[in-house]
Amino acid sequence: MIRIAQLSDVHFGDENRPAVEAATEMIQADPPDLTLITGDITRFAEVAELEAAKAWMETLPRPWLVTPGNHDAPYLAWIERIFAPFSRFERIIGPAWSQAHLDDHVAVAGINTARGAQWRLNWSKGQIARSQVREAVSFLDGASPAHLRIVAVHHPLTEMIGGPMTAKVWGGVDAARAFSEARVDLVLSGHVHAPFALPYAFGDGRTYAIGCGTLSVRERGIPASFNMIEADEEAVRIKALTWSGSRFEAHRTWSLDRRR
């Protein structure tokens, strides 16, 4: 059995402190095999926010992998945002453009779908380049067929029907198709502040998009939450745990068949 904790959109500066503390205590008490943080660890990518996020991450059981989100590029420092959007993140947190984890059971390719600036008015939306997809697929192809193969991004590559907001990822549909054809098991994301699980409509239908809620006060109709993921040879099971104000409770669960 493989156990993964997925946390996202903590937004230090706007974090839900009781929820963050309770989630941290749960993870510390029963450490997963891996902790994945799928972006937006800060509110405005201010140095103090990034340092608070790093201090929190250091309390989590290792190994962990974090990929940045659109809020992790400076919001107010415009020159830095345009020309070096993730320099603060890289200095304080770690690699911004790609991350990787490989152990005996899990292979994860982290991809930065956020951009400091882009050729559209809403810079919060996502992008994924063909070169990023090729590099991720190449890395995951090096894992054995028995590995749980995961791509971690911030923006959902395809839209969640009825979701509270859109990601509108340039290149997202093509990337979802490529990951399906490469037999990736899971594509984990954040951004919309709502948990979900759905299959991509490509390949054999066994590549799943998994969305995680927020651990901030920036809720969008669903309380602060995070995901616990368990996988064996037969299925992947996702439990979205939401904050009641005093404890985390199961909000929704999914059981997804794995390809053989």
**Res. 105: pLDDT tops 80:** yes
pLDDT band at residue 203 using 50, 70 and 90 as cut-offs: very high
Alpha-carbon dihedral 203, 175, 161, 9, rounded to 10 degrees: 130
List pLDDT tens digits, range 166-185: 889 999 999 999 999 999 99
List pLDDT tens digits, range 63-94: 999 999 999 999 888 899 999 999 999 999 99
List pLDDT tens digits, range 224-237: 999 999 999 999 99
Instruction: Give the strand order in the sheet containing 196-199.
Output: 98-102, 106-111, 148-152, 186-189, 208-211, 196-199
CATH number of the domain at 86, please: 3.60.21.10
Phi and psi, residue 42, nearest 5°: -125, 175
Overall domain count for the chain:
1
Domain extent, residue 247, equals: 2-257
- At 128 the pLDDT is 98
- Give the predicted TM-score (pTM) of the model: 0.97
Cβ proximity of 235 and 244 under 8 Å: no
pLDDT band at residue 251 using 50, 70 and 90 as cut-offs: very high
**Res. 162: pLDDT tops 90:** no
**Res. 244: pLDDT tops 90:** yes
- At 255 the pLDDT is 97
Task: Return the structure tokens found at 56.
Answer: 């929190």
